[in-house]
Amino acid sequence: MLTIYSEQQKLHNPAREFLGGDLVPYLESPKRMDYVLEALQRNNTGRIERPEGFSTEPIARVHRPDYIAFLETAWERWHQTYPEADQASPYCFPHRGLRHVIPEQIEGALGYYSMDLTAPVVEGTWKAIRASVDCALTAAKRVREGEPVAFALCRPPGHHASVDLMAGYCFFNNAAVAAQALLDKGADKVAILDVDYHHGHGTQSIFYSRNDVLFASLHADPRQDYPHYLGHEDETGEGDGQGFNLNLPLALHVTGWAEYRRALEVALGRIDEFQPDYLVVSLGMDTYERDPISFFSIKTPDFVELGHCLAALKTPTLFVFEGGYELEALGNNTVSVLEGFSSF
């Protein structure tokens, strides 16, 4: 399977994140990609190519122009205010009852464009998030040109980023930008299946009122885990998009492959009915039993079967890498999905 990867993605390398009332080492580390690359090479999964460089135009099809412009200069502005700091985080947000006017000052603006504290901006963030989108767009282009399937080894991930908000380690929504690019280049319908442990609330909100993109997601019940405020079963789309959003929340601690597979069949049935021109898979590997921040118990061989199930749709497919934080097994688990898909 063709993989698209860029070393530039390592430039986003925050040292710390807030977790459990403390500052801890940043989980979404550049090392994650090394573990995946090593496993791809060890298993001879196929060519690994660098992405083409795209302009911000395809990003602007999904994200608001002022959000894109903010991200481009956020580090510089922060650095002028806090020359000693190695990362930028907001501390204050336009919550209920407050005005949504974009503040001049960088900390206020950061809060305006952030849902939470888990997407710190550092010096290399802009280059890395551009490279991450480039990987998704290049892989999409290859699939459009006839490659049956491609894997975009993206990082930082994207599925929590919405039109004008960063959240959950995400800045630009790589899967959403790729899906929109496929539509802009002539596809009529694209399905996005999100198998990350966390609900892809950014992707959901981007396409919530659209019927040319079906969004289906299997994830931790938002009553029990991040992103806490979106991802419930009764969110089914609005307006033209009514019926084109499918959430399958699953309970923590009791979801193994048997339970997961039942929900997967529901999602695959809906996708099959939708008859998309392309399938984009938001491939999070944090459903794994030993993931440090997650509570499902999917095992390595189950990921092979997941790949099989996805291939059964017989649809040109783009895998876009999302979460997964158990480094030792991350490579084998990712390769398991891709090989399960290819060997169907």
For the annotated catalytic residues, the residue numbers are 160
Q: Give 300's contacts (C-beta < 8 A, 6+ positions apart).
A: 288, 329, 332, 333, 336
Q: In terms of CB distance, is 196 or 326 closer to Zn ion? A: 196
Helix (H) or strand (E) holding 279: strand 278-283
If phi > 0 it is left, if psi is from -120 to 50 it is alpha, else beta; for residue 279 that is beta
Residue 276 binds ligand OKP (CB under 6 A): no
> Which residue, judged by CB position, is nearest to ligand OKP in the bound state?
323
By CB under 6 A, tell whether 286 contacts ligand OKP.
yes
Residues 291-310: x where in contact with ligand OKP by CB under 6 A, - otherwise, as a string: --x-----------------
DSSP result, 177-221: HHHHHHHHTT-S-EEEEE-SSS--HHHHHHHTT-SSEEEEEEEE-
Cβ closest to ligand OKP, residue 187 vs residue 320: 320
Minimum separation from the CB atom of position 167 to ligand OKP (A): 8
Query: ∠ CA 194-256-269 to the nearest 5 degrees?
Result: 45
- Cβ-based nearer residue to Zn ion, 70 or 215: 215
Phi–psi pair at 302, nearest 5 degrees: -65, -30
Helix (H) or strand (E) holding 176: helix 174-184
Distance CA 106, CA 79 (A): 10
Q: What is the DSSP letter of 242?
A: T
Position of minimal CB gap to Zn ion = 323
Tell me whether residue 58 or residue 168 sits nearer to ligand OKP (CB atom): 168
Question: Which residue from 12, 121, 181, 196 is in contact with ligand OKP, where contact means CB under 6 A?
Answer: 196
Handedness of CA 339, 187, 65, 222 (dihedral sign): negative
Give the interface size with ligand OKP as a residue count (CB under 6 A).
14
Smallest gap, in angstroms, from Cβ of residue 322 to ligand OKP?
6
- In the complex, the smallest distance separating the C-beta of residue 285 from ligand OKP, rounded to whole angstroms, is 9
Q: Which residues bind ligand OKP (CB under 6 A)?
A: 19, 118, 157, 160, 168-169, 196, 198, 226, 284, 286, 293, 322-323
Q: Which residues bind Zn ion (CB under 5 A)?
A: 196-198, 284, 286, 323
